[in-house]
Amino acid sequence: MFLHCVRQQYTDFVTRTLGSCGDKFGSETAAFAKSVHLQGHGRNAEYQSIHSCLERLKPYGHVSAAVYLSNACHVVYTLAAPPDTNSWQEQDNQGQYWDNLKACKVYWRIIQREKNNVEEKVLNSKICEAWSNLARDLDGRKSSRPDFSNVNEMVKDHACKHWR
What mean pLDDT do residues 84-90 have? Answer: 87
pTM, two decimals, is 0.79
Distance CA 156, CA 131 (A): 9
What mean pLDDT do residues 71-79 have? Answer: 88
Q: Identify the pLDDT of residue 33.
A: 59
Q: What is the dihedral of CA 150, 89, 14, 124, to 10 degrees?
A: -60
Judged against a pLDDT cut of 70, whether residue 88 lies above it is answered with yes
Distance CA 157, CA 50 (A): 20
Cβ atoms of residues 47 and 5 within 8 Å: no
Q: What count of other Cβ atoms lies within 10 Å of the Cβ of residue 19?
A: 12
Distance CA 72, CA 150 (A): 10
Distance CA 72, CA 140 (A): 14
Looking at per-residue pLDDT, the higher value among 65 and 3 belongs to 65
Domains of the chain, by residue range, sit at 2-157
Give Cβ neighbours of residue 34 (< 8 Å, ≥ 6 apart): none
Q: Identify the pLDDT of residue 51.
A: 82
- Could you report the per-residue pLDDT of 121-132, keeping only the tens digit for each? 999 999 999 999
Judged against a pLDDT cut of 70, whether residue 74 lies above it is answered with yes
Alpha helices in 17-147 (DSSP H): 29-33, 43-57, 65-74, 88-92, 97-114, 120-134
Looking at per-residue pLDDT, the higher value among 75 and 12 belongs to 75
Share of the chain above pLDDT 90, in %: 32
Q: Provide the mean pLDDT of the chain.
A: 78
